[in-house]
Amino acid sequence: MKNSSTRPNPAHPAISRPPPTGARPSLASKPHPPSTSTRPAAIAAKHISPSRPPAQKISQARFDPHPVASPFQGTGGHAQGKTAFAHAYNSGSIPCRLQHGTVRITLQWNNPLPTLSYDPLLLLCMEGLQETDHPFVTVAQLATRELLTAPDAGPKVAPLVAQLALRLRASLLATSRSPDGFLATLEVLRLLSNCVGPELNPHTASFLAPLANTLLKPAAPTKLRDKCNEVLETLARNGGAPAMDAIRAKVPSFR
């Protein structure tokens, strides 16, 4: 016969007993921290810095390196400048304007170059090479180069050689202490020689003193020395034997 004391009494429900002292709680009863995988994607994205594309460099040719002329030094809200070119530019007699592009500064002419008269336009621009402030020096340099390299420039420039030579020599002397200005004026001399050839021979000797002084300076920048040699070679090639004799008389080291 079975013992009835081992059967549960339905009138007395079972009482849960606490675990004995020192016993570890069941892992099933321990609360778990929320999983990081349940976080919204937007919260996780805050901690991820997006990759940025490398910054693009701006072309320095867009910016003119010369100081800007102050409009308070002149009259009528215009900068004064140093030469007749600045006065002509302020009065609107120079038929072009600067165009600040995304890559470099260019000129926009009011009329096509073949229709322009070089007298007195080229004479004024050649004198403007002595300017040191923007916009005068910038316009003078760009305009002189474009006028000398125009397809029909030769017949227009030839009658003005004597007057151009006087202004170009003055510009060489005025810019001899400014490397950038002197470099730009040397380039104009090279272009003038290419434009008129041996017609420049009577005036070649007047250009040589600033070039010889630069070549004799041990501390002269390499780019200036190279430019001087390039100009001398151009004068000798375009002027022939008379030009070579004039150069050797002033620059004995030239071969």
Please count the other Cβ atoms lying within 10 Å of the Cβ belonging to residue 41. 6
Does residue 132 have a pLDDT over 70?
Answer: yes
DSSP-H helix ranges across the chain: 41-46, 84-90, 118-128, 136-148, 153-157, 161-174, 179-196, 201-216, 222-250
pLDDT in tens, 218-243: 999 999 999 999 999 999 999 999 99
- Average pLDDT value for the chain: 82
Task: Identify the structural domains of the chain with CATH numbers, from first to last.
Answer: 62-250 (1.25.10)
Worst-scoring range by mean pLDDT, 75-84, 147-156, 226-235? 75-84
